[in-house]
Structures are given as C-alpha cells and as structure tokens.
Amino acid sequence: MNRTARAVDAAIGMYQRRISPRKGWSCAHRVAHGGPSCSGAVRDAVRSRGVLGGAGFSVLQFLACYRAASMLMGTEVRGVCCCGPIPIPFRF
C-alpha cells in the first residue's frame, strides 16, 4: 500500500474503532444482506485496490447501501447508513 492508501485505511480503522461502536446502528446494506458494513467493504477495497481503484467500488457500495435503505423503509428497521458523506435514513 502506498502512503495515501495507508492514510485512508487508518482513517477508516479509526472510524470503525471509535465512532461506529458509539453511534448505535449498522449500515443498511449490512442489515439487509449481512456481510461487512460499508466501512469494512470500502476498507478492504482500499487495501486491495488502492485509493483510486477503491473509489469506484466505494461509490457502488454506497449506492447498494442506499438501495438497501430504500428496501428497509417498508420494514420496522430504523437508523442511518454508517458511512458516506450523506446519511441514508431507514427505520427499525
């Protein structure tokens, strides 16, 4: 990993350790489909593809999370997607 990828990886890791456990919900994609959260999936992409290679994957991941949030709107699940620049509301 280059320096930029290490910095992004460290920032995501800090988010996962310090912020995510305290916010009280998980991302919609993880709730709907299981597997890693958005932050975990994006972190894996940055580690394996680098920052630029992981950027396209990140956009697709956040889009999938948005779609999962839309799907969950009809259920009794509530929360906000855990990652990304725009919070994605859903119910629980």
42 with 80: CB under 8 angstroms? no
Which secondary-structure segment (H or E) carries 78?
Answer: strand 78-80
pLDDT score, position 81? 56
Could you tell me the residue range of the domain that residue 65 belongs to? 3-91
Packing angle, helices 3-14 and 38-72, rounded to 10: 50
Does residue 22 have a pLDDT over 90?
no
pLDDT digits (tens, 9 = 90+) for 31-77: 888 889 999 999 999 999 999 999 999 999 999 999 988 888 776 65
pLDDT score, position 55? 93
**How many structural domains are present in the chain?**
1
pLDDT score, position 92? 45
pLDDT score, position 31? 86
